[in-house]
Amino acid sequence: MNLKSIVAACALAFTSAISAADLSNWEKIEEGAQGQTVYFNAWGGSQEINAYLRWAGDELKDRYGVTLQHVKVSDIAETVNRLVAEKAAGKNEGGSVDMVWINGENFKSMKSNGLLFGPFVENLPNWSIVDKSLPVKEDFTEPTNGLEAPWGVGQLVFIHDEKTLANPPASFNEMLSLAKAFPGKITYPKPPAFHGTSFLKAALLELSMDTAPLYKPADQADFNAVTAPLWKYLDELHTVAWRQGKQFPAASAETMQLLDDGELLLAITFNPNAAETAVKNGTLAPSAKAFAFNEGALSNIHFMGIPWNANAKEGALVAVNFLMSEEAQARKANSDYWGDPAVVKLSDSKPLFKSQPEPHPSWQGALEQEWLKRYGQ
């Protein structure tokens, strides 16, 4: 075991001991949370999500005396890097981050570097109502070990307008055929933007003859051989893509705007209910519908974590527990507000698309680097 692993293991053991003591009395946790301000680092690129978190903040303030401060970030990796710096500086208390919205590569990085408080999840009162049939104990193949609490379900789906595209593609190969038939009408967000990298992973999973290597660390595979079908596909796609594959949308929201403007035939999102929400708020036409390819939608659980040096641990625990409550989950799942699928069983839960599990987190960075080398401009 190297020094980095020893430090991470010691940090985990230290926080585990704290959590075992602190979580034994939930009433004491709530008392300690009174008056605390919780700095929640979460993606800030959605008006619906931002509004939902303002509602949650109002509820937490009224019920528990906790102030939830949404720190809007474009990429949680920025937050992880800040926490790494705090760790290196020996800042083991009074940290700048109390909660993080994480999953995948960022969770693995935080876990490996001993940046997470816990395990705490199974001690939360609302853990009992979580739908255990969902993969809530695994994050991109990485065991969560109680270090992050499930918050919602993400699925990579596409959106089409039934009036302009009655029969959307059922696979990535059919998407390529559509792009060739209608040049300039198909694209995807530019990696390393989350939706762009997700597009790469989903395409590679479908185009690969053998997906087994994708569920193991990337450095254990012949990267060039495994990814060759993806680059061949993208070389073809880019020649007929929006702006000839020389420019790409910055994010999912831009693809929706381009769909609504008639510039694209397809938009992309990681929320299976995003089309319904967009129709209700007037962002998309009533004829906009979400769909997934026949092989299934790339799917994962997104989580909430608490840094090891959080300044407001009690407040963060109360906030996490509230966001997992049936009331908060039902509002989150309602397309009038956000439309993000719940991780608890609700009486009116909508069925999800067929699921395709995420690859090992190491593939994310490897694919992004290679994409930027080949196509980044």
Mean pLDDT per block of 10 residues along the chain (377 residues) reads 43 41 83 97 91 98 98 93 96 96 93 95 96 93 95 97 97 98 98 95 96 96 97 98 96 95 97 93 95 95 97 96 98 94 90 93 95 92
**pTM of the entire structure?**
0.84
Same-domain status, 236 and 342: no
Same-domain status, 48 and 194: no
Same-domain status, 79 and 172: no
pLDDT for the residue 178: 98
One-letter identity of residue 211: T
Q: Where are the alpha helices (DSSP H) in 220-345?
A: 223-240, 252-260, 274-280, 313-323, 326-333
CA distance 38 to 98: 6
pLDDT for the residue 350: 84
| Cα angle, residue 77 at apex, residues 75 and 78 outer, rounded to 5° | 80
Same-domain status, 122 and 169: no
User: Is 351 inside any structural domain?
Assistant: no
pLDDT for the residue 229: 98
Same-domain status, 220 and 363: yes
pLDDT for the residue 12: 41
pLDDT for the residue 13: 38
143 burial type by CB count under 10 A (0-12 exposed, 13-18 middle, 19+ buried) = exposed
pLDDT for the residue 46: 86
pLDDT for the residue 16: 37
pLDDT for the residue 196: 97
pLDDT for the residue 15: 42
Same-domain status, 254 and 370: yes
**Residue 30 has which token pair?**
């709530």
User: Is 237 inside any structural domain?
Assistant: yes
Same-domain status, 258 and 370: yes
CA distance 9 to 7: 5
pLDDT for the residue 86: 96
pLDDT for the residue 6: 41
What CATH number corresponds to the domain at position 194?
3.40.190.10
Q: Where are the alpha helices (DSSP H) in the chain?
A: 3-22, 26-33, 47-64, 76-88, 105-112, 172-181, 194-207, 223-240, 252-260, 274-280, 313-323, 326-333, 362-375
Same-domain status, 222 and 310: no
Cβ pair 60, 66 in contact under 8 A = yes
Cβ pair 187, 264 in contact under 8 A = yes
User: Is 363 inside any structural domain?
Assistant: yes
Structurally, the chain folds into a number of domains equal to 2
CA distance 368 to 296: 22
Task: Provide the residue range defining the domain that includes 322.
Answer: 30-151+302-346
Same-domain status, 201 and 332: no
Same-domain status, 201 and 77: no
Same-domain status, 237 and 175: yes
